[in-house]
């Protein structure tokens, strides 16, 4: 639920007189999905939350940015969308449970927990070392080589070749096959120790070539690499279009609009966008008519400001 743009705090639907446990007195199978800043329990349950606040609390802001610089906000609304995704997964699990037990339940999803659950091994590493992970810019400690470099024509290219096989392909692609057998780089542990040397060699090669040449070369050798895409790149990219991840949808007021496609893709029952989003109240007659309300009833509700 949203109140003034803010993700609702705990107990919001109880304050509206819609406590799930009370509703289950007449509908035991009711499943209620609840998304709030900090969840329905815990000492911070009454705090308000936005995506930006959740990112800070989840720890992702602290590790984003250049070494020695301030923390940086990630560029997408990760908490908002991830919380919705996890909440949908929770609803599906609750439906499965209801098939066995006949009982519904609450799906209690906090914004910050969606981001925290994607943090990987951070808490495990802290438990072993007692040290916080520091900001390190584009370099992720221990993942080598996985960096971005500027090409001769001013674009940025990400190259990721972290396994022994991928690194051997990379060495061959840039014309230095001997690097795969170099004592500094032959194994992952050695590459981690000498990551700066790898990045210097790879960066020097990328800087000498255009983006098109780099991409063609790495693709030919099976090396994972891609340009750092802007939205304009995404809008015109043939792969996005082929996968129907950029859609053109007619709107009521703004002509044709672009929007992301449906994820995930199902082979037998694929989703599709059939029409634009409805205007506010556009389907009132259809929805309330199905409940037995007449046009006169709807006019009365509209006059009262109820709809």
Catalytic residues: 80
* Burial (0-12, 13-18, 19+ Cβ within 10 Å), 31: buried
The C-alpha atoms of residue 133 and residue 40 are separated, in whole angstroms, by 29
- In order of 22, 116, 119, 126, the CA distances from 123 in angstroms are 38, 10, 8, 5
Rounded to whole angstroms, how far apart are CA atoms 158 and 224? Answer: 8
Paired tokens of 9: 């705090």
Ramachandran category for residue 137: left, alpha or beta (phi over 0 → left; psi -120 to 50 → alpha) = left
**Whose CA is closest to 85, among 42, 55, 115, 41?**
115
Q: How many C-beta atoms lie closer than 10 Å to residue 302's C-beta?
A: 12
Contact 65, 140 (CB under 8 A): no
Partners of 35 in beta bridges = 109
Backbone angles phi, psi at 67, to 5 degrees: -55, 130
Between CA 184 and CA 203 the distance in angstroms is 17
């Amino acid at each position: 639920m949203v109140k003034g743009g803010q993700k609702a705090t705990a107990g919001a639907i109880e304050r509206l007189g819609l406590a799930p446990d009370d509703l289950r007195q007449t509908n035991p199978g009711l499943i209620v999905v609840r998304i709030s800043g900090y969840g329905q329990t815990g000492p911070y349950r009454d705090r308000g939350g936005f995506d930006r606040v959740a990112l800070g609390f989840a720890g992702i802001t602290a590790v984003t940015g250049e070494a020695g610089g301030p923390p940086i906000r990630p560029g997408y609304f990760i908490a908002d969308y991830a919380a919705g995704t996890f909440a949908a997964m929770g609803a599906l699990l609750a439906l499965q449970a209801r098939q066995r037990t006949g009982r519904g339940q609450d799906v209690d999803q906090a914004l910050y927990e969606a981001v925290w659950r994607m943090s990987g091994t951070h808490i495990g590493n802290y438990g072993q070392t007692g040290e916080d992970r520091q900001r390190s810019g584009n370099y992720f400690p221990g993942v080598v080589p996985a960096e971005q470099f500027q090409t001769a024509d001013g674009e940025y290219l990400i190259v990721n070749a972290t396994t022994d096989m991928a690194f051997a392909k990379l060495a061959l692609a840039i014309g230095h096959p001997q690097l795969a057998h170099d004592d500094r780089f032959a194994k992952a542990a050695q590459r981690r120790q000498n990551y700066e040397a790898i990045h210097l060699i790879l960066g020097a090669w990328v800087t000498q070539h255009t983006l098109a040449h780099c991409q063609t070369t790495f693709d030919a050798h099976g090396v994972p690499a891609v340009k750092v895409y802007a939205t304009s790149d995404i809008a015109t990219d043939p792969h996005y279009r082929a996968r129907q991840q950029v859609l053109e949808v007619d709107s009521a007021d703004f002509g044709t609009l672009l929007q992301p496609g449906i994820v995930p893709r199902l082979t037998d029952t694929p989703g599709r966008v059939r029409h634009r989003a409805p205007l506010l109240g556009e389907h009132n007659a259809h929805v309330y008519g199905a409940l037995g309300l007449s046009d006169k009833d709807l006019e009365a509700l509209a006059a009262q400001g109820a709809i």
